[in-house]
Structure 1
Amino acid sequence: MTTLPLDTALLYRSIPKVELHVHLEGACELQTVMATAKERQIPLPFDDTEKFQNLVSLSGPQSSLENYLKPLITTVDIVGGSSKAIEMLAYNFLKTSHEAGVMYSELRFSPIWLSYSQFAQITYDEVVDAVASGLDRGKKDFGVEYNMIICLLYTKPEHSAEMVDLALRYRNKGVAGIDICGGEWLPLHQLHIDAFKKAKELGLNITVHAGEAGPAANIKRAIEVLGADRIGHGYTMVKDEEVLAMAKKLNVHFETSPISSIYTGCEKMGEPHAIQKYSDNGVNFSINSDDPCVMRKTLTDNYVMASDVLGLDYKQIKQCVLNAVDAAFLSDDKRASLKEKILQKFTEVESQYNIN
């Protein structure tokens, strides 16, 4: 007999989690951003928490991905070029992850975005060093395992080769792969294609933002042209049976975020959701927070939405966690160790809540 608590948040806060899709730029906790604004004497209301929060986050869904990204851009303008702020943000990210029950996280970020602001500039290597330092401290204090993913930008093809070289330099220092984000609706530049080809040939793991604000054809392009092992979002795939069948055949993993899919305007509340069709069709997917601080929502909130709004049951949500373990950018031995810990924690939770 399966007995779920009346408040599913209690259960989904307790279960072990693996997060594969979360941006540091969108996971900047408020106090560090406010402190950085004050330190840099930026003319913002850094002494008024509510007013400041309204500048760097959203109170509800937006009509487009472009509108959704505006608070994130404001945040990056405040903390960019500050190794101190970036290190603290990465540290606090793992603290928050630990509180949400995360046992392993892959944190992605753009060294291009974080390397500069109007107040200061640091090198791309210094950005990665700062993130790695914060995550390493966080791992020691909170016990959350991590890897990093370097984001290339659709809008900056001239930097793509440099970003791949950066990822290769740090591949033994916590960088597990690359991503590309920030404008999938643009034509795919040859410089991006060349950079991803090099990354694939040299063994970097690849995930690609596709099918979020662009058509399902972008998912096919990400798999066939960029060599994607995983897809970030991919919601428009459900509109193309050919791409859906291809993704299922290849067992491509989709990193979904229920709440950001609504906040970006890609999906609509009250209408059939792509994640429901993923589940109905046996698509390999996980649940992630994407930009939690932009939306003032937690990873647990995404699990609760998957349950209470999208209708996924406990077994389906548990499978999402196990899917994430299997899709994580980990060596086989580390994956096996993580899965053992995850399953042990699930056993404890299921005993606590009388789930069998």
Structure 2
Amino acid sequence: MHTFLAQLPKAELHNHLDGSLRVETILELAKFQKIKLPTFNYQELKKLLVNDEDCQSLTEYFVPFEISLSVLQTEESMERATFELLEDVFSENVKYLEIRFSPLLHTKEGLSLEKIVEAVLRGKKQAEALYAIKSGIIICGLRQNTASQNFELAQLAVKYKNKGVVAFDLAGEEFGRPALDHLKAFEFAFKNDLARTVHAGEADGAHSIYDAIHGLKANRIGHGTQLFQDQELLKYIRDNRITLEVCLSSNLQTKAVQSLETHPIIDYFKQDVLVTLNTDSYLISGTTLTKEFEIAESIYHFDKKDFERLSLNAFQAAFIDADQKQDLIRLVKEEMKILFANHK
């Protein structure tokens, strides 16, 4: 099954740029920028950066980001990180990737929000010119930001809407920080026809998902792990074809679930909720998209047809132009047909 899953054409919708750098890139950037790291030993640094199941909360999960963000304060580093991420996922046959990040986290050395976004867009353009991969950029507001800061980020996202930015997101510390505090930003995105996704039901209950959908008009939900708490909401999400961006390894690390065996993805899948598999962060979650598919096979016993469905769910839920999406899905289905013929 490993070869099949590695070769399966895939799309990822939930990936944080600042959590998906190469360890060697962090080391190189730190040396070049004269930034002090906790260690310059590759293995020791990797151990500090990669979370595992001993991680106890979302707050603890965020700690390694301080290291990666320290080297992502220049245009060159943002451009390089974007290019390398697309290069890395292309190697496991990811055909489409949505990369998300919060520009405010990259302003410590004085970069403007526009310069930061444009650097990421350059990295995206370079990778797409070299590899057969498409991508979209998602600008993240953060729950710990002020409402005015997130409104400014929503304006930024709309400004670059037809230049590579495909959506606006709300991420960050969920518990005790209501999504509705940032309603104005999402109303602005909605009025300007910019797609919306919201981290919800990860470190808080189903009511957080409810607010994201009915308050912020989210098209997709990041994680949605606690959706099972509200069966009426689950039916609404299923019937309205709202997609869940599920991140299995990350959910275990943040303790959104206590074990992978008790993760509700299998119940959502059986109830025909649109679920997709994602990494959250390649480096900080210590995973790849292929590994996430392998977890689903080993623990939930998904078969090849299930993986076809999961993969197509992601392509269908992608925040891209309808014509572009249909062309991409047509090519993916053709590739899947050949793959299935070779793996009977």
Q: Given the two structures, how large is their TM-score scaled by the length of structure 1?
A: 0.93
Paired AA for residue 28 in structure 1: L
**Which segments of 5 or more consecutive residues in structure 1 lack a partner in the other structure?**
1-7
Question: Could you tell me which residue of structure 2 aligns to residue 25 of structure 1?
Answer: 18
Q: Which of 347, 350, 353 in structure 1 is aligned with 2:340?
A: 350
Structure 1 CA distance, aligned partners of 2:2 and 2:16? 23
Do the aligned partners of 2:200 and 2:212 also contact (CA within 8 Å) in 1? yes
| Aligned counterpart for 1:91 among listed residues 83, 101, 124 | 83
Q: 2:285 pairs with 259, 276, 295, which one?
A: 295
Q: How many Å apart are 1:18 and its aligned residue?
A: 0.8
Q: Which moved more, 1:45-54 or 1:96-105?
A: 45-54
One-letter amino acid matched to 1:107? I
Match of 1:176?
166
What residue is the counterpart of 1:54 in the other structure?
47
Return the offset for 1:188.
2.7
Q: Does 1:204 align with 2:197?
A: no
SS at match of 2:333: helix
Matched, 1:226 2:226: no
Aligned to 2:295: 305
Question: For residue 84 of structure 2, what is the amino acid of its counterpart?
Answer: N
Shift in alpha-carbon separation, 1:239–1:325, aligned structure 2, 3 A: same
The change in CA–CA distance for 1:281 and 1:143 in structure 2 (over 3 A counts) is: same
Letter in 1 for 2:82: A
Q: Look up the SS of the partner of 2:84 in the other structure.
A: helix
Measure, in 2, the Cα distance between the counterparts of 1:14 and 1:188.
Answer: 40
Percentage of pairs with the same residue = 29
In structure 1, give the amino acid aligned to 2:2.
Answer: A
Quickly say closer, same or farther: Cα 1:318–1:61, change in 2 above 3 A: farther
**CA deviation digits over 1:104-125, x for unaligned, max 9?**
1111111011222xxx231111
Q: 1:91 to 1:311 in 2, by over 3 A?
A: same
The aligned counterpart of 1:10 is 3
Q: Which amino acid aligns with 1:19?
A: E
Separation in 2, partners of 1:270, 1:333:
37
Q: Choose which of 64, 68, 71 in structure 2 pairs with 1:75.
A: 68
1:129 equivalent in structure 2: 118
- C-alpha separation in 2, matches of 1:112 and 1:57: 23
Partner of 2:29: 36
Query: What's the offset of the Cα at 1:186?
Result: 2.8
Q: Secondary structure at the match of 1:309?
A: helix
Please list every run of at least 4 consecutive aligned residues from structure 1 whose deviation after the TM superposition is greater than 4 angstroms: none
Shift of 1:185: 1.6
Q: Give the Cα–Cα distance (whole angstroms) in 2 for the partners of residues 264 and 97 of structure 1.
A: 23
Deviations 1:237-295 (A, max 9, x none): 01221221221121211011111111111112264211111112111111111111002
**What one-letter code is carried by the residue in structure 2 that aligns with 1:13?**
A
Asked whether 1:267 is paired with 2:267, we answer: no
Q: Would you say 1:214 and 2:207 are equivalent positions?
A: no
Q: Which letter does structure 2 place at the counterpart of 1:151?
A: C
The 3-state SS of whatever aligns with 2:95 is: strand
Change (3 A) 1:232 1:190: closer
Distance 2:49 2:259 in 1: 24
Distance of 1:270 and 1:184 partners within structure 2: 21
Partner Cα separation in structure 2 for residue 295 and residue 224 of structure 1 = 30
What's the RMSD between the two structures over aligned residues?
1.5
Corresponding position of 1:5: none
Q: What residue is the counterpart of 1:333 in the other structure?
A: 323
Alignment partner of 1:154 is 2:143: yes
SS of equivalent residue, structure 2 residue 161: coil
Q: CA deviation at 1:221?
A: 0.5
Question: Using a 3 Å threshold, how does the CA distance of structure 1 residues 283 and 35 change in structure 2: closer, same or farther?
Answer: same
Q: Which amino acid aligns with 2:275?
A: F
Q: Secondary structure at the match of 2:137?
A: strand
Name the SS of the counterpart of 1:283 in structure 2.
Answer: coil
Distance 1:39 1:16, change over 3 A: same
- Conserved? CA contact 2:20–2:281, under 8 Å: yes
Alignment counterpart, residue 140 of structure 1, candidates 98, 105, 129: 129
The letter of the residue matching 1:139 is: E
| Residue type of the alignment partner of 2:197 | T
Does the CA-based 8 Å contact 2:57-2:254 persist in structure 1? yes
After the TM superposition, which of the residue ranges 47-56 and 218-227 deviates more from structure 2?
47-56
Q: Between Structure 1 and Structure 2, how many residues are aligned? A: 343
Take 2:237 and 2:135, find their aligned partners in 1: how far apart are those partners? 27
Matches of 1:91 and 1:158, distance apart in 2: 31
